[in-house]
Each structure stands twice: as C-alpha cells, then as structure tokens.
C-alpha cells in the first residue's frame, strides 16, 4: 500500500470519526430539550429525585448532542432524549409524592397519638375522680362498719342480758308483740281516719255545708219538694244518698232535720208545711240506713230565713231543709 493510499485511509478514518463525534450544528429542538433537562435538574421541588432516570435522560441528550449524520437520525435522538427527560420528571414527581405520603402518614399517626394521649389524659382524670370517690366511699364504709360493730356489740350485750333471764326476755317479747299490735292498730285507725277524711272531703265538695254553733249543717235546697207539696219529688232520694254517706261517717252524733219555708203565705201553714217536709226527709234518711234513734225532725216555719224574702232568688234559698249533725 502506497503512502498516499495510507494517508487516504487515515483521512477517511478521521472523516468517519468526525462524522460520528463532530459537535452538532445549532439545533433549536435540541436547545429546547436541553432546557427541559436543566429545568428539571434545577427545579427545587424535583431536584435530586429519580437520579437513575435523570442520568439516562442525560445520556440520551448527550447522544443527541454528539450525533452527526442525517437529520432523521438526529431528530430521532432528540425525540428520545425529550421522552427520557419527561420520564425522569414523571418519576421524580412520583418519588416526591411518595415522600409526601410518608410525611402525611407520619402527620396522621402523630395526630392519632396525640388524640390517644388526650383521651388517656381524660381517662386518667376520670380515674382520679373515681379513685377519690372510692376513697370517700371507703371512708363511709369504714364508718358504717365501725357503727355496725358497735351495734353488734350492743346487740351481743343485750343478748347476754336476755340470756340472763329467759323470763325477762319473754316479757320483752310480749311487750314487743303488744307494741307491734298497738302500732298495727294505730296504723289501721290512721288508715280509717284518712279514708274518712278522703270521703268526707269528697262529700264536702258536693254538698252545701255550713258550720254552725250546733254543728255541721247540710242544706238541701228547694229541689226536694214541688211547690206546696210534702212528699219528696222523684229522684229526691238519690240526692239524699250523699247526705246519708256523710251522716254515717259520724255514727255517734245526733241528727236534727229542720224544715224551713219562705215568708209567702200564712205562717201557720208554713210551719206545718216545714214540719211535714222535715218529717219526709227524716223518713227518707231512715229508710236509707240512718238509725231512727239518732234522728229527729222539726218544722221551723218561715222564721229562720238565710236570705232575703224580697226576691225570688232569696226566697228560693229560704225554702230548704237543713240536716244538722249535732255536736252533742
């Protein structure tokens, strides 16, 4: 091989090498891609993440920068570099997310820890309160126990005393029994009294009652008799039922039935009328269970009005039969 031939080959080798390694021409697309990588690497939020992917992007970009040859090939390399950078950026973002997730998880568990501490604090406070309560209760219990012991001692003493004399004990028992029956009796009486009071109260609500010097007076208005009549109207007996109930609450007291009239008409007639009416009420009461031995009837005529005889309303009030539960 001649020297010129050798030189030529050498030259071609150089050309070949330069074809593959020659610095590229000014390339806008390449500049843009380089800018993207620089942007990724200088981004304060993403810098340092996904180093392997960034390295790959770096290599792809350098390959594109160093490439020579046809535009198609170089465009391909630039495109690949661009995609590599985007992959690197995406992976960097994901790594950043993962770090954020770690921080958020930590934040969450810190919150839960804090919450459980506060809950524990509350529980401790509750427990302290409960402990104090228990302590107080224990003191109370202690006191109660001491009192009980004292009582038991006393009981034991009295038991011993009781043992000393069986007769004494027996007496004591009898006494206790009689006391118990007395108490029972008293209770029954009280019950009875309260029952009476209740029924009396009920009757007092329905009947026209007055307290007088001679005793309790039940006034029966002029509904019992028709005008001028001396027999009870139909239904008059039923209105006496309450009076009978009232009278039977005081079975020991005497009863006087007084008839009164208004001042119309002649006084003698009125007297007779009042007497007959009083007698009619007496008979009705006796027929309804009031003992005839404790009841008497009296005509009072027109001389004991309880209201004015000047008007019909007053006269109506004066036409009445008084049933008096005598105090003596």
**Smallest separation (angstroms) from other proteins to the CB of 74:** 11
HSE (side-chain half, CA atoms, 13 Å) at 128: 6
Closest CA to 45 of 100, 118, 116: 100
Of 77 and 290, CB closest to other proteins: 77
Of 106 and 179, CB closest to other proteins: 106
Of 94 and 179, CB closest to other proteins: 94
Of 98 and 152, CB closest to other proteins: 98
**Smallest separation (angstroms) from other proteins to the CB of 197:** 59
**Smallest separation (angstroms) from other proteins to the CB of 121:** 8
Could you tell me where the beta strands, DSSP code E, fall in 261-309? 295-299
Residue 56 burial by Cβ neighbours in a 10 Å radius (0-12, 13-18, 19+)? middle
**Smallest separation (angstroms) from other proteins to the CB of 35:** 19
Of 49 and 225, CB closest to other proteins: 49
Cβ atoms 259, 282 nearer than 8 A:
no
Provide the pairing of β-strand 255-260 with 295-299.
Answer: parallel
Query: Cα torsion for 271, 277, 278, 284, to the nearest 10°?
Result: 170
Residue 279 burial by Cβ neighbours in a 10 Å radius (0-12, 13-18, 19+)? middle
Of 84 and 256, CB closest to other proteins: 84
**Smallest separation (angstroms) from other proteins to the CB of 83:** 4
**Smallest separation (angstroms) from other proteins to the CB of 34:** 18
Read out DSSP for 257-276? EEEE--SSS-HHHHHHHHHH
Round to whole Å and give the CA distance between 135 and 327: 64
Of 87 and 307, CB closest to other proteins: 87
Of 97 and 148, CB closest to other proteins: 97
**Smallest separation (angstroms) from other proteins to the CB of 77:** 9
Which long-range CB contacts under 8 A does 16-25 form with residues at least 24 apart? 18/68, 19/68, 19/69, 20/66, 20/68, 20/69, 21/66, 21/68, 22/68, 23/66, 24/64, 24/65, 24/66, 24/67, 24/68, 24/74
Query: Binding residues for other proteins, per CB under 8 A?
Result: 8-9, 12, 16, 19-20, 69, 72-73, 76, 79-80, 83-84, 86-87, 90-91, 93-94, 97-98, 100-101, 104-105, 107-108, 111-112, 114-115, 118
Of 103 and 147, CB closest to other proteins: 103
**Smallest separation (angstroms) from other proteins to the CB of 135:** 28
Cβ atoms 64, 36 nearer than 8 A:
no
**Smallest separation (angstroms) from other proteins to the CB of 127:** 18
The helix (run of H) or strand (run of E) holding residue 210 is strand 209-211
Backbone phi, psi, residue 296, to 5° = -140, 155
């Amino acid at each position: 091989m001649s020297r010129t031939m050798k030189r030529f080959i050498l030259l071609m080798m150089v050309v070949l090498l330069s074809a593959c390694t020659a610095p590229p021409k000014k390339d806008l697309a390449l500049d843009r891609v380089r800018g993207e990588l620089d942007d990724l690497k200088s981004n304060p939020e993403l810098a340092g993440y996904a180093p392997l992917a960034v390295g790959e992007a770096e290599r792809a970009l350098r390959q594109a920068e160093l490439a020579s040859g046809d535009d198609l090939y170089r465009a391909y390399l630039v495109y690949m570099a661009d995609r590599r950078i985007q992959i690197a950026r995406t992976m960097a973002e994901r790594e950043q997310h993962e770090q954020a997730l770690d921080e958020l998880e930590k934040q969450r568990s810190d919150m839960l820890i804090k919450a459980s501490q506060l809950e524990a604090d509350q529980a401790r406070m509750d427990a302290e309160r409960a402990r104090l309560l228990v302590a107080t209760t224990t003191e109370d219990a202690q006191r109660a126990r001491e009192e009980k012991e004292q009582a038991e001692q006393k009981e034991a003493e009295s038991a011993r005393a009781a043992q000393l004399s069986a007769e004494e004990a027996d007496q004591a028992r009898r006494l206790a029994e009689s006391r118990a029956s007395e108490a029972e009796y008293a209770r029954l009486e009280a019950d009875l009294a309260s029952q009476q009071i209740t029924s009396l109260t009920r009757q007092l609500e329905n009947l026209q009652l007055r307290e007088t010097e001679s005793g309790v007076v039940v006034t029966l208005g002029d509904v019992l008799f028709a005008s001028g009549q001396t027999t009870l109207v139909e239904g008059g007996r039923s209105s006496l039922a309450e009076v009978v109930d009232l009278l039977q609450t005081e079975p020991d007291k005497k009863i006087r039935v007084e008839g009164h009239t208004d001042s119309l008409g002649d006084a003698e007639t009125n007297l007779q009328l009042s007497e007959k009416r009083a007698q009619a009420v007496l008979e009705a009461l006796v027929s309804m269970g009031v003992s005839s031995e404790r009841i008497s009837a009296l005509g009072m005529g027109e001389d004991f009005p309880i209201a004015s005889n000047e008007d019909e309303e007053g006269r109506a009030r004066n036409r009445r039969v008084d049933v008096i539960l005598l105090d003596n």
